[in-house]
Amino acid sequence: MALPKKMLVEFCLPVYNEKRILKTNVIKLLDFLNRQNFAFSWLIVIVNNGSTDNTVKIGRELTGERIKIINFSQKGKGGAIKRYSLMSAADWLIYMDVDLAVSLENINDLIKILTDNNYDIIMGSRLLTGSKVERSFIRSLSSKIYNSFSRLILKHKFFDLQCGFKMIRGEVLKKITPLIKDSNWFFDTELIYLAYRRNYRIKEIPVNWSENRYQLRKSKVKLIKDGLKFLKNLIELKTRL
């Protein structure tokens, strides 16, 4: 299936206080995308969510024909994606973490499936056979535990709802995001589960993921605190639906 050139795909980078890596990684993403010769229009969108450092200034300096920045004063990755999705005119949105923990080569895996099949959401997974993951033992274990609880409580079939690498049909995102209550990192779980409950077509693919791809970036995840909150959110989501 050939993709129409008039189709627009946006690569969304939610950012919060990322002055150390923003310029380097946006340029790296831009260079990669320019080399692909995609048969559709595309744009990189920096979606700021309440940064207090020089993230916005750096983002504005990067803006051009292929890059734009949207600035929201509220904190929260999920909230930023929700707000931007309602503004976007893109046919598809790919959102990914600005540390580029997922290899850029996996972008082509998303596009290939988009070309060959008819899905509404294509999502990366660190826990599928074929995934290549460089991560500390404790974080790998916690991720497996989180996702096991997720499947147990919500009764879905997916392996890694929390991976920040997803491609979503724009019209589907507009329908789902108003139903999502969380504005932080539980956003991913709500998004996929709500789409699953509404019978949208979802494909999970293995990715090459490295926790240490950029050493200067400190993880914002607190294992015990966020793990307990994750469990609480799962139960509340199950009860709500």
Rounded CA Rg of the chain: 17
Residues in Cβ contact with 136 at an 8 Å cutoff, skipping those fewer than 6 apart: 211
What are the pLDDT digits (tens) for 203-213? 999 999 997 65
CB 168 within 8 Å of CB 90: no
Quickly state the pLDDT bin for 240 (edges 50, 70, 90).
confident
Residue for token pair 């460089």: 134
What are the pLDDT digits (tens) for 55-110? 999 999 999 999 999 999 999 999 999 999 999 999 999 999 999 999 999 999 99
CATH number assigned to the domain covering 8-240: 3.90.550.10
Task: Give dist(CA 79, CA 83) in Å, integer.
Answer: 6
Task: Give dist(CA 102, CA 126) in Å, integer.
Answer: 9
